Chains A and B, each alone.
Chain A
Amino acid sequence: MLYRETGQFKISYAADQSVFPIAQDRWFVSLIIVVAIFVIPVLASEYLLQAVMIPLLIFSLAAIGLNLLVGYAGQLSLGTGGFMAVGAYMTYKLTTAFPDINIIIVFLLAGLIAAFVGLIFGIPSLRIKGFYLAVATLASQFFLLWMFNKVAWFYNYNSSGTITAPPREMFGVVITGPMASAETRYLVTLFIVIIFAFIAKNLVRGRLGRSWMAVRDMDIAAEIIGIRPFQTKLIAFAVSSFYCGLAGAMMVFLWLGSAETEAFSINESFNVLFMIIIGGLGSILGSFLGATFIVGLPIFLTNAPQLVGLSMPIDMQKHIEIMMFGSLIIFFLIVEPHGLARLWQILKEKLRLWPFPY
Chain B
Amino acid sequence: MEIISFLNLVFVNPLVEIFSYPIFFAEVVISGLLTGVMYSLVALGFVLIFKASGVFNFAQGAMVLFAALNLVGFIEQGFPIWLALLLTIIVMIILAFLIERFMLRHLINQDDIILFMATIGLTFLLQGFGETLWGSNVKPLDLGIPNQSFEVAGLLLNEFDLFAAGSGAILVGVLAVFFHYTRIGRALRAVADDHQAAMAVGIPLKTIWIIVWSVAGFVGLVAGIMWGAKSGVQFSLSLIALKALPVLILGGFTSVPGAIVGGLIIGVGEKIAEIYWGPLVGGAIENWFAYVLALAFLLFRPQGLFGERIIERV
Contacts and interface: CB of A to CB of B under 8 A. Distances in A.
Given A319-B136, A329-B120, A150 B284 contact: yes
B199 to A, nearest CB: 21
Contacts of B249: 131-132, 135-136
Contacts of B248: 135
A138 B245 contact: yes
Nearest to B102: A330
Contacts of A194: none
Contacts of A266: 242
A317 to B, nearest CB: 10
B193 to A, nearest CB: 18
A146 B287 contact: yes
Contacts of A129: 302, 310
Interface string B235-268: 0000000100110110001000000000000000
Contact of B114 (A70, A146, A324, A333): A333
Contacts of B208: none
B291 A143 contact: yes
Nearest to A325: B124
Contacts of A273: 117, 120
B201 interface: no
Contacts of A136: 249, 291, 294-295, 298
Contacts of B120: 270, 273-274, 329
Contact of B106 (A221, A281, A325, A334): A334
A132 B288 contact: no
Contacts of A347: none
A145 to B, nearest CB: 8
A329 B112 CA distance: 16
A329 B118 contact: yes
A31 B281 CA distance: 54
Given A143-B291, A323-B129, A128 B122 contact: no
A86 B246 CA distance: 23
A319 B129 CA distance: 7
Given A136-B291, A266-B242, A319-B128, A326 B123 contact: yes
Interface string B6-23: 000000000000000000
A226 to B, nearest CB: 14
A100 interface: no
B118 A330 contact: yes
B116 A131 contact: yes
Nearest to B50: A131
B94 interface: no
B39 interface: no
Point out which of A220, A316, A330 has the most chain B C-beta atoms below 10 A from its C-beta: A330
A320 B128 contact: yes
A333 B112 contact: no
B57 to A, nearest CB: 11
A255 B292 CA distance: 33
B299 A124 contact: yes
A76 B114 CA distance: 12
A333 B136 contact: no
Given A150-B282, A224-B314, A316-B132, A139 B292 contact: yes
A319 B132 contact: yes
A323 B128 contact: yes
B259 to A, nearest CB: 14
Interface in A249-300: 266, 270, 273-274, 277, 281
B314 A124 contact: no
Contacts of B306: none
Interface in B31-59: 56
B139 to A, nearest CB: 15
Interface in B272-314: 281-285, 287-288, 291-292, 294-295, 298-299, 302-304, 310, 312-314
A315 B131 CA distance: 9
Contacts of A277: 113-114, 117
B302 A135 contact: no
A329 B117 contact: yes
Contacts of B151: none
B88 to A, nearest CB: 20
B177 interface: no
B148 to A, nearest CB: 35
A1 interface: no
A167 interface: no
A337 B114 contact: yes
Given A142-B288, A337-B111, A330 B122 contact: yes
A333 B121 contact: yes
B77 interface: no
Contacts of A138: 242, 245-246, 291
Contact of A146 (B110, B123, B124, B285): B285
Interface of A: 70, 76, 124, 127-132, 134-136, 138-139, 142-143, 146, 149-151, 218, 220-221, 224, 266, 270, 273-274, 277, 281, 315-316, 319-330, 333-334, 337
10 contacts: A129-B310, A135-B249, A138-B245, A143-B288, A149-B284, A151-B282, A320-B128, A329-B118, A329-B120, A330-B103
Interface of B: 56, 102-103, 106-107, 110-114, 116-118, 120-129, 131-132, 136, 242, 245-246, 248-249, 253, 281-285, 287-288, 291-292, 294-295, 298-299, 302-304, 310, 312-314
Given A131-B116, A274-B117, A334-B107, 9 more contacts: A138-B242, A139-B294, A143-B291, A224-B314, A270-B120, A277-B113, A315-B136, A319-B131, A323-B124
